[in-house]
């Protein structure tokens, strides 16, 4: 029995980050693929700086943190997310939080982007925070949940979720995603030994 959940560990990291600056999160969540298949795929990736995190208690999910993803380059998200989903024949969810202001969620199915959400697409131009959503049925289908409940959270105004990671937490609960979605490669590197000691399988590439 674990003495401390991974969710609490990640929450500690998130609180520590907020004390100094906004939160920055970026990762890929592989859905419904055998962990061995994910690891074989990552063995063939021609770069380092990748962490794989698997919780046997929630075998549906395999989290991938990547130093390149931490740059928050959405072009790379499309490339690697599409590559993962095509090679593993399963949905892949990319999640990004920028400075606690912007939440981006992208879903890849069969190698292509099937769902996209940006909580503040005009952020860099100084526009009002009006969310942009496309492909919601694909996200609901991938997780087997109600699209209506998801839409209600995704469309809520910025004032309801001034911290992007709080909106992410609400979405995570609807989708049934475990708490370790709150992680970047930097967190994964910092927490590696702790994660392993609480029963999570952590691999580095």
**2, pLDDT greater than 70:** no
The helix-helix angle for 6-18 and 185-197 (nearest 10°) equals: 140
Q: Which helix (H) or strand (E) holds 93?
A: strand 92-98
Higher-confidence residue of 112 and 194: namely 112
pLDDT digits (tens, 9 = 90+) for 25-52: 999 999 999 999 999 999 999 989 999 9
- Is residue 36 helix, strand or coil? helix
pLDDT digits (tens, 9 = 90+) for 166-200: 999 999 999 999 877 777 777 777 776 777 887 88
Q: Residue 192's pLDDT is what?
A: 67
Put the strands of the sheet holding 50-54 in their side by side order. Answer: 132-134, 112-118, 102-109, 92-98, 25-31, 61-66, 50-54, 201-204
Residue 16: how many other CB atoms lie within 10 Å: 11
Handedness of CA 48, 106, 199, 2 (dihedral sign): positive
Residue 183: how many other CB atoms lie within 10 Å: 25
**85, pLDDT greater than 60:** yes
Q: Residue 6's pLDDT is what?
A: 46
Structure-token match 């496309």, residue found:
134
Higher-confidence residue of 184 and 56: namely 56
Any idea which of 101-110, 142-151, 196-205 has the lowest mean pLDDT?
Answer: 196-205
Q: Residue 11's pLDDT is what?
A: 44
Handedness of CA 77, 176, 132, 96 (dihedral sign): negative
Six token digits for residue 106: 């992208």
**76, pLDDT greater than 80:** yes
pLDDT digits (tens, 9 = 90+) for 126-149: 888 889 999 999 999 999 998 999
pTM: 0.87
Structure-token match 């769902």, residue found:
115
Q: How far apart are CA 109 and CA 139, in angstroms?
A: 10
């Amino acid at each position: 029995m674990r003495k401390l959940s991974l969710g609490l560990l990640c929450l500690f990291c998130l609180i520590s980050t907020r004390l100094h600056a906004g939160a920055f999160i970026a990762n890929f969540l592989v859905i419904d693929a055998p962990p061995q298949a994910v690891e074989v795929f990552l063995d063939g990736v021609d770069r380092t700086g990748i962490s794989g995190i698997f919780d046997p208690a929630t075998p549906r999910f395999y989290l991938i943190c990547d130093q390149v993803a931490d740059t928050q380059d959405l072009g790379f998200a499309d490339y690697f997310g599409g590559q993962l989903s095509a090679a593993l024949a399963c949905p892949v969810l990319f999640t990004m939080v920028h400075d606690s202001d912007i939440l981006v969620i992208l879903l890849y199915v069969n190698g292509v982007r099937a769902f996209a959400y940006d909580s503040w697409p005009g952020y860099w131009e100084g526009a009002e925070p009006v969310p942009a959503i496309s492909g919601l049925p694909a996200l609901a289908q991938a997780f087997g949940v109600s699209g209506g409940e998801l839409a209600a959270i995704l469309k809520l105004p910025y004032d309801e979720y001034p911290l992007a990671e709080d909106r992410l937490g609400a979405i995570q609960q609807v989708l049934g995603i475990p708490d370790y979605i709150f992680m970047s490669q930097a967190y994964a590197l910092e927490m590696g030994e702790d994660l392993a000691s609480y029963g999570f399988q952590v691999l580095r590439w």
